[in-house]
Structure 1
């Protein structure tokens, strides 16, 4: 008679994988993040007041080229809503700005324009509106 223990262990492993264990939550390593500052709102080199603090982490990842916490980060942003200036396909890319407490990506994004980025836009309402900002390096 065969033992049921290997089947039980396999079933537990399958359930754990379906539930996301061992889940690895991405947390940016602030010790290696390049400092990012912005023009327009802060003469002291701070980011514009309309950006949430989590935008600093996203901008540091963009400057480093990743790794990004979501597979959608870095993909081409199509500007289908027509809210940003018209540019050739591939000009814009989108990146998630973490929303504390959100169970998904949330509605906050940074859109970059150009490679390397020459234009930066922020939306907190999932592409309904944007605010442009500039960075100093």
Structure 2
């Protein structure tokens, strides 16, 4: 039985590696940043107006993003202590910039009692560029904020 353990472990690792590969990102929609950090063409979908903020937002943003953007513009106060912290970009999915360039903010998800996966990442101080992720930093979509 002892000699079977390494073979069993190897088989489990092989299966895990195969399953992991099935979850790799497929084709990335336009307006997103590919996992390697390569920005794709920015052909934004038609904008919509967020009811409470007066800001025109792309249709891929959830309505709650308008509240987050309003708080970013006014400097808070933010509901989550992590909001406004430096986003490290460890996986290099956004263009490479000096440390401290990117900051992250929570976009609330209705029905959740925790932060969830939705974030807005800003670049620059004050923000000059905006990204949205709804899958906890796996993919990003760049957008513009018009006031």
The alignment's TM-score, normalised by the length of structure 2, stands at: 0.64
Shift of residue 103 of structure 1? Answer: 1.9
| Map of 2:98 onto structure 1 | 88
Q: Structure 2: which 5+ runs fail to align? A: 1-43, 50-54
Distance 2:106 2:117 in 1: 8
> How many residue pairs align between the two structures?
99
> Do 1:40 and 1:133's aligned partners in 2 also have CA atoms closer than 8 Å?
no
| Map of 2:70 onto structure 1 | 60
Shift of residue 95 of structure 1? Answer: 0.1
Pair 1:41 & 2:46 matched: yes
Deviation beyond 4 Å, 4+ runs, structure 1: none
SS in 1 for 2:81: coil
Shift of residue 43 of structure 1? Answer: 7.6
Distance 1:108 1:71 in 2: 15
> Do 2:104 and 2:120's aligned partners in 1 also have CA atoms closer than 8 Å?
yes
RMSD (Å), alpha carbons: 1.6
SS in 2 for 1:63: helix
Shift of residue 42 of structure 1? Answer: 1.9
Distance 2:118 2:76 in 1: 18
| Map of 1:106 onto structure 2 | 116
